[in-house]
Amino acid sequence: MFLLWALPLALYLFYRWSIATYDYFEKRNVPYVKPVPFFGQVLSFFTQGRHAVDVASEGYRMFRNTRISGVFTLRTPAYLVHDPTLYKQMATKDFDHFTDHVTDFRIETDPILARSLFFTNGAHWRQHRSGLSPAFTGSKMRSMFGLLSKSAGDAMGRLLVFAAGKPFTMELRDLYSRLGNDVMTSISFGVEVDSLTDRDNEFFLKGKRLAQIDGLPGLKFLMATTIPRVFHFFRLSGMYKDVNEFYTDAVARNIQLRETNRINRPDFIHLLLQARKNTLGAEKHEDEALQDAGFSTVKEHTLEQKMGEGKMNWADIDIAGAAASFFFGGIETTTTLLCFTSYELAVNPDIQERLRAEIDEQRESLADGRTPTYEVLQKMKYLDMVVSEALRRWTPLGLTNRKCTKNYTFTNTDGSQVTIERGQNISIPLKYFHLDEKFYPDPLRFDPERFADPNNINQDAYVPFGAGLRNCIGSRLALMQAKCILFYMLSNFIIKPDTKLTIPIVIDETSAGLNAKHGFWMNLVPRSA
């Protein structure tokens, strides 16, 4: 008899507890996405058949006349920023209220990810960012450009040999991930590999597992971001154990080899070893001329360290974490940018021909007629317009986040005061800023001419690499790598849609990142054919 009434009572009490916080935004006059009891919005990530970025940004589409909206992660209230100007203010002027990212990996379970710049917070992040910033200046990028260009040029030569003067079909995500693997293995770990010929080399196989953001790794990353307490309760890890061990060992052996044989190579390991010795600095006069890698280059901000924090002590494992995070960005983010740029060039042949004409014009000024320099890529205006538009139309990281570290009050569009409380999370829908017709007329159309005059762009609403002090430190590297590979690709091939390519592209909704559901199948036609 007891069970007959105890179980319903327990379920009712659990239900009341699960919805007890759901009047939070109503009390504060903030529009919010209606939550599912207990789950809030979390259940939608797994049941709605939409991409995670679209689910998380639902409030942006629902509430058009507000600077912010509310959402619940399980029972916990969080916010979605609608106003790009508000985001820019939070990220710069009021940065001390939003210094941390939401995702928190633990060193015990994720020794590499927990040490990567994106996932560190607090004093560790400030030390990390201050130590790394001099490694990403224009002059440092130029010094590494020779390695990048050689790797991409050699790979393109092998691709031409494979073509033998005839058109062939290739899936471009596989191609660009292999090119990216070779480039980033060279400049991140100081190792030369050939993933086009040696298709199962260890660096490519481990790199593929490192950069995997669909399937189980994507699910775990989503959990670490949306329900971190559950993620940590089950002691889950974001990276495979064998991948952690591989990169830790690879970096340690590489450092020992360099120090034993006094090897100097202009790559990230060399720069991080300089950081360890406190000899890494920026060449200010040279950097001024080289800082601009294109319209999308993020603005550098001076980061002031707090009293008593000291400098970063770069142990081998810290260098491995930094190198692996550069490697991930160079493969995943840049590969995504290259894939969607190539897709747009294939379905817009007039744009492709105009870009190729600019490339051919620059090739005439090169000593060997084929190998670009850092400075040549810098001055290619139409190439920059194409890449900038691709980053707008197909933003690789469509959503970013911050954790409020100090109560923050601002005025909403209706004149009411909104206070984001310490410990609450905010999400910023970068994709939806870029696809909002308020900022970009006919936003789904790929049109590089938008960037012909930078003064016509609302720069608060163009943030492919984020904004403020926690913007993407590797924007120059990503732009340099993407432009270099596009230069070589269009110098040697005409990109045409293959019959297996889905037009318009269909997005893979199960991937945590941005990817095509049916692949990027293209017909590559050698220009000599």
Q: What is the DSSP track for 282-324?
A: --HHHHHHH----TTPPPP---PPPTT-------HHHHHHHHH
Distance CA 282, CA 287 (A): 7
Computed on alpha carbons and rounded to an integer, the radius of gyration of the chain in Å comes to 24
Mean predicted confidence (pLDDT) in 82-93: 97
Distance CA 125, CA 132 (A): 10
User: What is residue 437's predicted lDDT score, i.e. its pLDDT?
Assistant: 97
Torsion 430-436-440-445 (CA) sign:
positive
Q: What percent of the chain has pLDDT over 70?
A: 95
Distance CA 275, CA 264 (A): 14
Q: What's the CA angle centered on 330, arms 327 and 332, to 5 degrees?
A: 100
Per-residue pLDDT at 148 exceeds 90: yes
User: What is residue 166's predicted lDDT score, i.e. its pLDDT?
Assistant: 95
3-state DSSP percent of the chain in helix, strand and coil, to 5: 50, 10, 40
> Is the residue at 421 inside a domain?
no
Mean predicted confidence (pLDDT) in 35-59: 85
Distance CA 218, CA 199 (A): 24
Mean predicted confidence (pLDDT) in 496-512: 93
Which of 39-43, 162-166, 225-229, 302-306 shows the lowest per-residue confidence on average (mean pLDDT)?
302-306
The answer to whether residues 393 and 505 touch, using CB atoms and an 8 Å cutoff, is: no
User: What is residue 287's predicted lDDT score, i.e. its pLDDT?
Assistant: 58
User: What is residue 283's predicted lDDT score, i.e. its pLDDT?
Assistant: 61
> Is the residue at 414 inside a domain?
no
DSSP 407-459: -EEEE-TTS-EEEEPTT-EEEE-HHHHHT-TTTSSSTTS--GGGGSSGGGS-G
The helix (run of H) or strand (run of E) holding residue 387 is helix 381-393
DSSP 87-132: HHHHHTTTGGGS-B-S----TTT-TTGGGSGGG--HHHHHHHHHHH
**What mean pLDDT value characterizes the chain?**
90
Torsion 399-426-121-235 (CA) sign:
negative
Give the model confidence (pLDDT) of 54-65 as tens digits. 999 999 999 999
Which of 50-59, 216-225, 237-246, 476-485 shows the lowest per-residue confidence on average (mean pLDDT)?
216-225
Which of 9-13, 135-139, 440-444 shows the lowest per-residue confidence on average (mean pLDDT)?
9-13
Per-residue pLDDT at 513 exceeds 90: no
Mean predicted confidence (pLDDT) in 122-144: 88
Torsion 119-120-122-125 (CA) sign:
negative
> Is the residue at 290 inside a domain?
no
Determine phi and psi for 5, rounding to 5 degrees: -105, -20
> Is the residue at 16 inside a domain?
no
The binding site for heme comprises 472
> Is the residue at 8 inside a domain?
no
Name which of 117, 327, 340 is nearest 211 in CA terms. 327
Q: What percent of the chain has pLDDT over 90?
A: 58
Per-residue pLDDT at 465 exceeds 60: yes
Question: What is the SS3 assignment for 72?
Answer: strand
The answer to whether residues 221 and 261 touch, using CB atoms and an 8 Å cutoff, is: no
Angle between helices 349-363 and 381-393 (to 10 degrees): 140
More confident residue, 347 or 42: 347
Mean predicted confidence (pLDDT) in 433-443: 97
Which of 3-7, 30-34, 36-40, 311-315 shows the lowest per-residue confidence on average (mean pLDDT)?
3-7
Mean predicted confidence (pLDDT) in 372-391: 96
Tell me the pLDDT band of 360, cut-offs 50, 70 and 90: very high
The binding site comprises 472
Question: What is the SS3 assignment for 522?
Answer: strand
Per-residue pLDDT at 192 exceeds 80: yes
Per-residue pLDDT at 234 exceeds 90: no
Per-residue pLDDT at 348 exceeds 60: yes
Mean predicted confidence (pLDDT) in 227-236: 83
**Tally of structural domains, the chain:** 1
3-state secondary structure 15-51: HHHHCCCCCHHHHCCCCECCCECCCECCCHHHHCCCC
DSSP 460-495: GG--TT--GGGS-TTHHHHHHHHHHHHHHHHHHEEE
Per-residue pLDDT at 153 exceeds 60: yes
User: What is residue 3's predicted lDDT score, i.e. its pLDDT?
Assistant: 63
Per-residue pLDDT at 529 exceeds 60: no
Per-residue pLDDT at 285 exceeds 60: no
User: What is residue 346's predicted lDDT score, i.e. its pLDDT?
Assistant: 98
> Is the residue at 505 inside a domain?
yes
> Is the residue at 57 inside a domain?
no
* pTM attached to this predicted model: 0.94
Name which of 485, 498, 299 is nearest 387 in CA terms. 485
Contacts of 518 by beta carbon, 8 Å cutoff, 6+ apart = 500, 501, 502, 506
Mean predicted confidence (pLDDT) in 424-445: 97
Domain that includes residue 122, residue range = 84-279+297-394+454-526
Per-residue pLDDT at 223 exceeds 90: no
Tell me the pLDDT band of 256, cut-offs 50, 70 and 90: very high
User: What is residue 49's predicted lDDT score, i.e. its pLDDT?
Assistant: 76
Task: Give the domain CATH number at 310.
Answer: 1.10.630.10
User: What is residue 282's predicted lDDT score, i.e. its pLDDT?
Assistant: 60
Tell me the pLDDT band of 410, cut-offs 50, 70 and 90: very high
Which of 32-36, 169-173, 190-194, 213-217 shows the lowest per-residue confidence on average (mean pLDDT)?
213-217
Question: What is the SS3 assignment for 368?
Answer: coil
User: What is residue 225's predicted lDDT score, i.e. its pLDDT?
Assistant: 80
> Is the residue at 159 inside a domain?
yes
